[in-house]
């Protein structure tokens, strides 16, 4: 039974305005939604009133009530809406069934856009009004009553909702059986409100400040909660809400129920879809739509002769059901179906259709290869049968261990991977045996189903490892013994030996070693040798017994290691003999004359090592091939190098060592000494010297050197401890040297070395080197008179604007020592751009920087005055020291900026006007204008532009115009007006910008 509805709007003052139409539309949407759930007859009339409410929001309820009896002495009333749906009539004396009032002040909290749906996304700060109307209509349907917040009835009457309220010591619950079943027990009602009666759910007041994702009570998210209505949240009609309506006596529409059973099918059997399921629905409803689903895809749904996809929803109308069918495949399919009655979808109903197909069966037995057998054809490994007589169309193979491998047409296949082969290619499949058994698998496919995997084992023929025979061998020192003569190999299977491995367990460096292809091999490592390499492999005996091993490989298996020994005599280490030797300073002594070597085995000496334990830099040192060697390090010397090796004696005794190697063993180190006289360091003598300013004194005249051993001096070092920049300095080869650093000077350079005196006393040092030892530093002084600084004198100077004043007229310099002034420095402390500036050789200089001027440049240096007073400085340099800065001033009159006058100019379109006719300039100081700047602020393409010498200029940039260019400067108008600017410079200061307009 389906009922109708209508909405009457009451807004006599039109306070709702344009929102009225949206609200009526939204209310109709809410009624349409409730119509899906509630069954009844008649026409539900809802009165929508736009007027202030007590709660400032929306409130709704039955327009009136109808007495249906008594309960415990109280009259019971049902809502007028229920009376309408039951009888198809209004309660006598009324014209509507539900009344909803909405406060105009509530409009700001709801979305008033026209045409919303229940699922419409609304802005985050407002509520979808359809949710509001769903809530108020629920009150209108009877979730209302007269229990106030004190739990008292207004009189001796109650609503049908009130009859199912059970009060407790802490609140009240709704106890209708259907509502309790949906909620799981008595449903808490909102009793903490100060404005609402007992007809809402939930009592968690803290949820008022929560969000939908953080509420503590799930009832806060129910359509009928009495705590909060969240913005931008879609409230659903819950099973609890429907349970309340059932408890109030409403007939509720039930959802369709689909029934289907599992079925067995022949292969490719076709079923009409309507034969596979049935649907039960509410009285008066009819199914309008169906949905199908196929999970596995062995068979398929067909609609109108078109095959449908797997794992996708297939929607059809009721009229298409007769054209829908299911065709079974080779395997089972889990199918699903659901139905729609125009209001609700049923649940999905699954069922299974299983065809009666038999998978193929593979039979296989274990196989063992015969001697020398490398592979076996697949036809001898397994067979396949099919109970349905289906032809086998495909096979799959698998190899678990990978000792051997499957091969297709000779190509090796992977291990632990499925290998699919068509029936036509089966004759190309074989299995190749490996070195150990493999667990193999095979299965077959009959075009519909794969059979089960069947395992079997393939075992290769048993291989016998090769056996090595070897006996101990006696050898001489260094004997080269062919490896093939040391051992032999047999193989019970007659297999060819494909590889050898050798091993030497004796790590003594004096022992012997294997040699392969001329290369000595390491100990304690497996040495791989091919049969081809065996002929060039040998064992080189050493000192004593070598513990050796060998094994062979027959291409399949390695044999066991065989141990044997090569025994050579114990080697005697060479012995070095050496005696202490007395030498002179710097004596070059052949190394071969310092020691001799003997060897009990008469072995040839193949290497020597020398050592010098004396690290004193004045001591002697070994020399090999003309190169001096370091101390405290082993120095390797071949017999060929020994003839060019020597010891260069120094000062005092040198502690030396030597040892020899006979090709197998190093002898012990032998210590001996080379004793030379103790060297006496050279002694420098020097006295203080008096000098004049800037006197150039030959270094050789400042000191003398003596050496008790009469050694030749090979080096000198100078030092200047006086860091004062006005002091003197050493000069070597014409280059001034820095203070506080050792200055190396050879005897050759000494003739070009001097000391250049400065101001005051210089603290100097010198020492000498005799080729072995540095002498002590000798201190002395060169004393020159203290330099008197040059003094600059200057007085303030009055100048005109732009006056060019020779620098030499602004100051003078005096020097008490009569020193010639070699340099000047000038400074300008005034950074005002309109002030003056120093000029050197025609180049203007910056402010606040030291300006270097040579004596020769002073005649080309001047000061260019500007506007106002200039704070200037100067100082002089006498070749030794800078004098103090002297401050003075050049004062010129204050410059007045020029003033530009311009008025708006009216022109015709595209008229060209001389710039000089657009403005005039005056200057209080009568200065001549040296430069202009013009500007065009109008970027429009059809506007005008400045031109200089016929060249158009850009907009929005300062355009420089010299005084000479002004006569060739114009403004070329366009077809719209231009906003123009101009300013002038009198050589010192820019005027203010003057704005005017070129009006077209």
> How does pLDDT run across 228-263, given as a tens digit for each residue?
999 889 999 999 999 999 999 999 998 999 999 999
pLDDT at 1: 67
Q: What is the pTM of this model?
A: 0.41
Check whether 920 has a pLDDT greater than 70: yes
Residues 6 or more apart in contact with residue 677 via CB below 8 angstroms: 584, 585, 651, 652, 709
pLDDT at 51: 94
Of the candidate ranges 1-5, 133-137, 738-742, 991-995, the one whose mean pLDDT is the lowest: 1-5
Nearest to 773 by CA among 649, 619, 654: 619
CB atoms inside a 10 Å sphere around CB 698: 12
Check whether 170 has a pLDDT greater than 80: yes
Q: Could you tell me the two tokens for 740?
A: 């506080």
862 and 744 in a common domain: no
526 and 405 in a common domain: no
Mean pLDDT of 130-148: 96
291 and 237 in a common domain: no
Check whether 464 has a pLDDT greater than 90: no
Final residue in a domain of this structure, among 328, 355, 382: 355
pLDDT at 267: 75
209 and 122 in a common domain: yes
Report the mean per-residue pLDDT for the chain: 94
Final residue in a domain of this structure, among 398, 432, 459: 459
pLDDT at 150: 86
> Residue 882: is it exposed, middle or buried by C-beta count within 10 angstroms (0-12/13-18/19+)?
middle
Q: Where do the DSSP E strands lie in 320-393?
A: 324-327, 333-340, 349-355, 361-364, 367-368, 375-377, 382-385
Of the candidate ranges 13-17, 467-471, 950-954, the one whose mean pLDDT is the lowest: 13-17
pLDDT at 268: 84
Percent of the chain with pLDDT over 70: 99
Read off the pLDDT of residues 321-330 as tens digits, 9 standing for 90 and up: 999 999 998 8
Check whether 372 has a pLDDT greater than 60: no
Q: Indicate the pLDDT class of residue 345, thresholds 50, 70 and 90.
A: very high
pLDDT at 407: 94
936 and 922 in a common domain: yes
Q: Indicate the pLDDT class of residue 194, thresholds 50, 70 and 90.
A: low
Of the candidate ranges 26-35, 369-378, 972-981, the one whose mean pLDDT is the lowest: 369-378
Check whether 36 has a pLDDT greater than 80: yes
Check whether 374 has a pLDDT greater than 70: no
Q: How far is CA 417 from CA 373, 430, 439, 642, 736, in A?
A: 25, 16, 13, 69, 85
Read off the pLDDT of residues 440-449 as tens digits, 9 standing for 90 and up: 999 999 888 8
Of the candidate ranges 262-271, 801-810, 909-918, the one whose mean pLDDT is the lowest: 262-271
317 and 367 in a common domain: no
pLDDT at 371: 55
In angstroms, the CA 843 to CA 837 distance is 10
Give the angle subtended at the CA of 16 by the CAs of 10 and 20, to the nearest 5°: 70
Q: Between 802 and 568, name the one with better pLDDT.
A: 568
Check whether 556 has a pLDDT greater than 90: no
Mean pLDDT of 389-416: 93
Q: Could you tell me the two tokens for 614?
A: 């004396």
CB atoms inside a 10 Å sphere around CB 612: 21
pLDDT at 228: 93
Check whether 418 has a pLDDT greater than 80: yes
pLDDT at 954: 96
pLDDT at 462: 75
Number of domains making up the chain = 8
CB atoms inside a 10 Å sphere around CB 301: 23
Q: Where do the DSSP E strands lie in 897-948?
A: 899-902, 905-906, 912-914, 919-922, 931-936, 945-948
Nearest to 172 by CA among 157, 182, 184, 161: 161
796 and 778 in a common domain: no
Final residue in a domain of this structure, among 334, 355, 376: 355
Q: Could you tell me the two tokens for 717?
A: 């070092």
153 and 17 in a common domain: yes
CATH code (residue 869): 2.60.40
Mean pLDDT of 167-180: 94
Check whether 290 has a pLDDT greater than 80: yes
Read off the pLDDT of residues 37-88 as tens digits, 9 standing for 90 and up: 999 999 999 999 999 998 899 999 999 999 999 999 999 999 999 999 999 9
Nearest to 99 by CA among 148, 36, 50, 154: 50
Check whether 370 has a pLDDT greater than 80: no
Q: Indicate the pLDDT class of residue 146, thresholds 50, 70 and 90.
A: very high
> Residue 109: is it exposed, middle or buried by C-beta count within 10 angstroms (0-12/13-18/19+)?
middle
Check whether 373 has a pLDDT greater than 80: no
Q: Positive or negative, the Cα torsion across 533, 534, 536, 537? A: positive
Nearest to 212 by CA among 332, 131, 94, 113: 131
Q: Indicate the pLDDT class of residue 771, thresholds 50, 70 and 90.
A: confident
| Helix, strand, coil share (%) of the chain residues, nearest 5 | 10, 40, 50
919: domain range? 899-999
In angstroms, the CA 91 to CA 45 distance is 12
pLDDT at 115: 94
CB atoms inside a 10 Å sphere around CB 302: 17
140 and 100 in a common domain: yes
pLDDT at 449: 85
Read off the pLDDT of residues 845-893 as tens digits, 9 standing for 90 and up: 999 999 999 999 999 999 999 889 999 999 999 888 899 999 999 999 9
In angstroms, the CA 262 to CA 291 distance is 18
261 and 346 in a common domain: yes
771 and 800 in a common domain: no
Mean pLDDT of 655-665: 94
Contact 563, 549 (CB under 8 A): yes
Q: Indicate the pLDDT class of residue 580, thresholds 50, 70 and 90.
A: very high
pLDDT at 435: 80
248 and 156 in a common domain: yes
In angstroms, the CA 692 to CA 714 distance is 32
Contact 574, 598 (CB under 8 A): yes
Q: Between 733 and 663, name the one with better pLDDT.
A: 733
Q: Could you tell me the two tokens for 528?
A: 């791989």
Q: Could you tell me the two tokens for 791?
A: 């003094």
Residue 673, sorted as left (phi over 0), alpha (psi -120 to 50) or beta, turns out to be: beta
Q: Indicate the pLDDT class of residue 820, thresholds 50, 70 and 90.
A: very high
pLDDT at 193: 66
């Amino acid at each position: 039974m389906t009922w109708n509805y209508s909405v009457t709007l009451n807004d006599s003052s039109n306070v709702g305005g344009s929102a009225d139409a949206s609200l009526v539309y939204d209310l109709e949407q809410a009624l349409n939604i409730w119509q899906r759930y509630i069954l009844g007859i008649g026409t539900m009339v809802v009165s929508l009133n736009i007027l202030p409410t007590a709660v400032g929001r929306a409130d709704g309820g039955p327009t009136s009530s109808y007495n249906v009896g008594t309960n415990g002495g109280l009259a019971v009333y049902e809502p007028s809406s229920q009376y309408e749906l039951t009888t198809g009539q209004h309660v006598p004396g009324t014209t509507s069934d539900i009344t909803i009032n909405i406060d105009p002040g509530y409009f700001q909290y709801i979305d008033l856009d026209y045409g919303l749906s229940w699922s419409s996304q609304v802005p985050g700060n407002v509520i979808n009004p359809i949710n509001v109307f769903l809530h108020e209509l629920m009150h209108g349907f009877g979730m209302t009553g007269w229990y106030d917040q004190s739990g008292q009835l207004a009189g001796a009457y109650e609503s049908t909702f009130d009859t199912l309220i059970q009060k407790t010591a802490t609140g009240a619950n709704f106890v209708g059986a259907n509502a309790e079943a949906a909620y799981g027990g008595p449903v808490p009602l909102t009793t903490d409100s100060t404005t609402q009666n007992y007809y809402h759910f939930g009592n968690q007041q803290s949820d008022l400040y929560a969000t939908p994702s953080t509420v503590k009570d799930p009832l806060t998210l129910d359509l009928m909660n009495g705590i909060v209505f969240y913005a931008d949240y879609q409230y659903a009609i819950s099973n609890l809400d429907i349970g309340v309506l059932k408890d109030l006596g409403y007939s509720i529409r039930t959802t369709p129920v689909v029934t289907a059973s599992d079925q067995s099918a022949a292969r490719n059997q076709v079923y009409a879809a309507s034969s596979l399921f049935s649907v039960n629905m509410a009285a008066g409803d009819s199914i309008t739509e169906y949905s199908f689903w196929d999970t596995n895809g062995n068979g398929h749904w067909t609609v109108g002769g078109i095959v449908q996809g797997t794992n996708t929803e297939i929607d059809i109308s009721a009229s298409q059901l007769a054209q829908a069918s299911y065709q079974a495949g080779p395997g089972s399919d889990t199918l699903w179906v659901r139905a729609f009655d125009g209001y609700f979808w049923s649940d999905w109903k699954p069922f299974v259709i299983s065809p009666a197909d038999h998978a193929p069966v593979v039979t296989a037995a274990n196989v063992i290869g015969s001697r020398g057998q490398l592979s076996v054809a697949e036809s001898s490994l397994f067979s396949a049968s099919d109970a349905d007589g289906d032809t086998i169309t495909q096979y799959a193979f698998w190899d678990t261990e990978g000792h051997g491998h499957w091969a297709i047409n000779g190509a090796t296949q992977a291990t632990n991977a499925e290998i699919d082969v068509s029936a036509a290619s089966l004759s190309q499949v074989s299995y190749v045996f490996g070195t150990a058994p493999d667990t193999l698998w095979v299965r077959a496919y009959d075009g519909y189903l794969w059979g089960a995997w069947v395992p079997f084992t393939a075992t290769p023929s048993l291989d016998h490892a090769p056996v090595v025979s070897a006996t101990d061998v006696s050898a001489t020192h260094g004997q080269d013994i062919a490896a093939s003569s040391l051992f032999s190999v047999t193989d019970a299977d007659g297999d060819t030996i494909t590889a050898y491995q050798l091993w030497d367990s004796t790590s003594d460096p004096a022992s012997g070693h294997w040699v392969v292809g001329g290369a000595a091999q390491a100990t304690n490592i497996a040495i791989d040798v091919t049969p081809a390499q065996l002929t060039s492999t040998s064992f080189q005996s050493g000192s004593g017994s070598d513990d050796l091993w060998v094994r062979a490989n027959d291409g399949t298996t390695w044999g066991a290691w065989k141990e044997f020994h090569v025994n050579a005599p114990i080697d005697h280490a060479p012995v070095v003999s050496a005696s202490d030797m007395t030498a002179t300073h710097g004596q070059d002594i052949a190394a071969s004359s310092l020691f001799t070597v003997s060897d009990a085995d008469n072995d040839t000496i193949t290497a020597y090592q020398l050592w010098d334990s004396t690290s004193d830099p004045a001591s002697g040192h070994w020399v090999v091939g003309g190169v001096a060697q370091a101390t405290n390090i082993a120095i390797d010397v071949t017999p060929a190098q020994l003839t060019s090796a020597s010891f260069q004696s120094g000062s005092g005794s040198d502690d030396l060592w030597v040892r020899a190697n006979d090709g197998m063993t190093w002898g012990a180190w032998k210590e001996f000494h080379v004793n030379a006289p103790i060297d006496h360091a050279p002694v420098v003598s020097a006295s203080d010297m008096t000098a004049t300013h800037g006197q150039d004194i030959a270094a050789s005249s400042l000191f003398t050197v003596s050496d008790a051993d009469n050694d030749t001096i090979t080096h000198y070092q100078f030092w200047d401890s006086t860091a004062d920049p006005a002091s003197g300095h050493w000069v070597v080869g014409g280059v001034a040297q820095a203070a506080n650093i050792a200055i190396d000077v050879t005897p050759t350079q000494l003739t070009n070395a001097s000391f250049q005196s400065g101001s005051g006393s210089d603290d100097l040092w010198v020492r000498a080197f005799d080729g072995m030892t540095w002498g002590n530093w000798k201190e002395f002084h060169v004393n020159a008179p203290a330099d008197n600084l040059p003094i600059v004198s200057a007085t303030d100077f009055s100048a005109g604007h732009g006056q060019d004043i020779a620098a030499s007229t602004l100051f003078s310099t005096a020097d008490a020592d009569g020193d010639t002034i070699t340099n000047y420095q000038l400074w300008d402390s005034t950074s005002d751009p309109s002030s003056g500036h120093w000029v050197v050789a025609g180049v203007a200089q910056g402010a606040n920087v030291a300006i270097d001027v040579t004596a020769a440049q002073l005649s080309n240096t001047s000061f260019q005055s500007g506007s106002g007073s200039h704070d200037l400085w100067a100082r002089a340099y006498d070749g030794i020291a800078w004098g103090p800065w002297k401050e003075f001033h050049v004062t010129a009159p204050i410059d007045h900026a020029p003033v530009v006058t311009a008025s708006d100019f009216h022109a015709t379109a595209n008229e060209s006007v001389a710039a000089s006719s657009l403005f005039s300039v005056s200057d209080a100081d009568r200065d001549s204008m040296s430069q202009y700047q013009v500007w065009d602020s109008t970027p429009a393409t059809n506007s005008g532009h400045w031109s200089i010498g016929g060249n158009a200029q850009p907009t929005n940039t300062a355009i420089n115009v010299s005084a000479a260019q002004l006569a060739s400067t114009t403004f070329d108008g366009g077809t719209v007006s231009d906003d123009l600017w101009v300013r002038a410079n009198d050589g010192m200061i820019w005027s203010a910008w003057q704005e005017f307009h070129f009006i077209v």
